[in-house]
Structure 1
Amino acid sequence: MTTTTLIYVALLLTTLVGVVGAVVPVMPGPILILGTSIGAGFLYNWDNATVTIVVSGVVFVMCFAIEQLSGIWGAQKAGASYWGQIGSIVGLFLGFFGLLPALPVGGPLVGLFFGPFIGAVVGELLYPRQVPLAERVKISVKAGVGIVLGSVLGLILQGLLSLFAAIVFVVTTWHLGMGIN
């Protein structure tokens, strides 16, 4: 194998890690794919790298927007109040950092899913509503489930978009990485 081919294989592996990172919270995803596209541009004197850089850049921006908005969208669809949305954000941070020392292996990942749920439920329970307690609990759990489902849907969309960017990367750079002209 030539050095160029070895570097290309490293870029492919980094792209694969980027696809996985798009669906696993805390791991960098689309930014790795964009970085490999730019790396391919430097490596191959920008031959055919323009398409993959543009696609990866657009996917990165879309994934960033999806990541920021998916939980909020889920909360709104479930009828969560502002308190529930703020609670989910607080729960996200507390879940991540709170479970980090308690469960060092997998704790932050568990916290990223349960933290927003618990935070939204607590936020909704604290929201001053003039309804019976049983109804408040029902509304609170519905808001928490909506936030989690919105976040999971966002992760799925990010994964699909990242997979698309990775496929474009491979299709547009394969002949360069394998030394085929």
Structure 2
Amino acid sequence: MEIVGWILIIVLFAIGMAGAIFPILPGALAIYFAFFIYGFFISFEPFGWVFWTLQTLIVAVLFLADYAVNAWGVKRYGGSRASVIGSTVGVIVGPFVIPGIGLLLGPFIGAVIGELFAGSNTGQSLRVGFGSVVGLFSSIVVKIILQLVMIVLFIIWII
């Protein structure tokens, strides 16, 4: 059973890391769930309240940072609330509507449309769309770093 547990843990870690790039995957929650798999299949003994507190805080920061960093990118380039909403919708819908490049085009198009609805000119809307892509890449970097921290803490705790 221990081997099955490790296979599941590795798969969940892989899904979690892929989720840093593809927003349709559960990301941090997959990594968090892997800790429970370890506990059920191997042992909960290495994990105390400090481990669970740190990991839960990281997951909370990841959820907040995901939205905040993307919004920062849009706002940094002069975007309105409408373009933040459009960019967020684009991140979620883009990969489904435009497979392959929808992850990049979705937030860009969403932000541009949102900014046009807010009354900005085309040049400003395109600038904000670029900002949404900057925010997306910044968000991905933050998620990768924090999710790697989660995995490293797990390894440190079980050694």
What TM-score do the two structures reach when normalised by structure 1?
0.74
Matched, 1:114 2:105: yes
- Give the letter for the 2:85 counterpart: I
Task: Return the structure number with greater relative CO, CA threshold 8 A, min gap 6.
Answer: 1
Aligned to 1:98: 97
1:65 positional shift:
0.8
1:133-176 per-residue CA deviation (whole Å, 9 max, x = no partner) reads xxx222111111111111210111111110111111122224xx
Q: Which residue matches 2:30?
A: 32
Residues 83/21 of structure 1: CA separation in 2 closer, same or farther (3 Å cut): closer
**Residue segments in structure 1 that go unaligned for 5+ positions in a row:** 100-106, 130-135, 175-181
Partner residue of 2:20 out of 13, 19, 22: 22
Which structure is larger by alpha-carbon Rg, 1 or 2?
Answer: 1
CA RMSD of aligned residues (A): 2.3
Spell out the pairing of 1:1-181 with structure 2 (5 A cutoff): 3-50=1-48, 51-99=50-98, 107=99, 110-128=101-119, 136-174=121-159
Deviation at 1:30, TM superposition (A): 0.8
Cα distance between partner residues in 1 of 2:155 and 2:135: 30
State whether residues 37 and 56 of structure 1, in contact with CA within 8 Å, keep that contact through their aligned partners in structure 2: no
Question: Alpha carbons of 1:16 and 1:168: their partners in 2 closer, same or farther (altered >3 Å)?
Answer: farther
Counterpart Cα distance in 1 of 2:110 and 2:11 = 37
Equivalent residues, number = 158
CA distance in 2, matches of 1:59, 1:52: 11
Partner SS for 1:23: coil
Hey, what's the Cα distance between the residues in 2 that align with 1:20 and 1:94?
A: 17
**For each residue in 1:10-41, what CA deviation from the matched residue of structure 2 results, as whole angstroms up to 9, or x when unmatched?**
32342233223223332221111111112222
Gaps of 5+ in 2: none
Matched-pair contact (CA < 8 Å) for 2:17–2:27: yes
Change (3 A) 1:112 1:4: same
Instruction: Please report how far the alpha carbon of residue 58 of structure 1 lies from its aligned counterpart in structure 2 after TM superposition.
Output: 1.9
Aligned-partner Cα distance in 2 for 1:4–1:87: 45
Q: Which runs of 4+ in 1 moved over 4 A?
A: none
